[in-house]
Amino acid sequence: MFAPQAIGFVRSPFQNTEAIPKGLGARHSEEGTLELLPEFAQGLTDIEGYSHLIVLWTFDRSEGFELMVTPPSDDHPHGVFSTRSPRRPNPIGLTIVELLRRENGSLHVRGIDMLDGTPILDIKPYLSNIPEEKLRRGWLAEAEARKR
């Protein structure tokens, strides 16, 4: 296995997890910055052409994992791989952000849901959608329906 290394860090308005919108209907519209370390900045070449990016990062302030978790959006437990819980066997988070602009090694983005200082592992282009009519969202859709 590889040894993960930070390619940069998130600058975010969120200093603690309580501040991050969670649960049903949570909207992530906060702006923030993905600041790459200078030695990785060249890897951003041509990224301006993409409207959306996939950011992989680490839950660096979470410890351990559990296989069954009760997420903020429901009142009973689900398998961790059916949720976005931070307490995962590999504590890797994924966020899709909208790219607003680039300034050298910094990407200004919208849709931040990471804590300030979160280490970034990877950035990938968001290329395509699953056809909407083919998308099912399991227990989460059921939890939403119960709430309505």
Q: Does 79 bind a second copy (CB under 8 A)?
A: yes
Q: Does 24 bind a second copy (CB under 8 A)?
A: no
The residue among 11 and 52 lying less far from a second copy, judged by its C-beta, is 52
Other CB atoms within 10 Å distance of the CB of residue 79: 11
Other CB atoms within 10 Å distance of the CB of residue 93: 21
- Least separation in angstroms between residue 94's CB and a second copy is 6
Residue linked to tokens 């790219």: 99
Instruction: List, in sequence order, every residue forming a beta bridge with 55; answer none if it has no partner.
Output: 95, 123
| CA–CA distance, 44 with 15 (Å, rounded to integer) | 26
Q: Does 67 bind a second copy (CB under 8 A)?
A: yes
| CA–CA distance, 94 with 11 (Å, rounded to integer) | 16
Q: How close are the terminal C-alpha atoms of the chain, in Å?
A: 45
Q: Does 26 bind a second copy (CB under 8 A)?
A: no
Q: Does 106 bind a second copy (CB under 8 A)?
A: no
> Which position among 48, 70, 117, 147 is part of the footprint of a second copy (CB under 8 A)?
48
The residue among 12 and 53 lying less far from a second copy, judged by its C-beta, is 53
With CB under 8 A as the rule, give the number of residues binding a second copy: 62
- Least separation in angstroms between residue 1's CB and a second copy is 5
Name the residue among 127, 104, 90, 98 with its Cα closest to residue 40: 104
- The residues binding a second copy (CB under 8 A) are 1-7, 40, 42-52, 54, 56, 58, 60, 67-68, 77-84, 88-92, 94, 96, 98, 119, 121-130, 132, 134-142
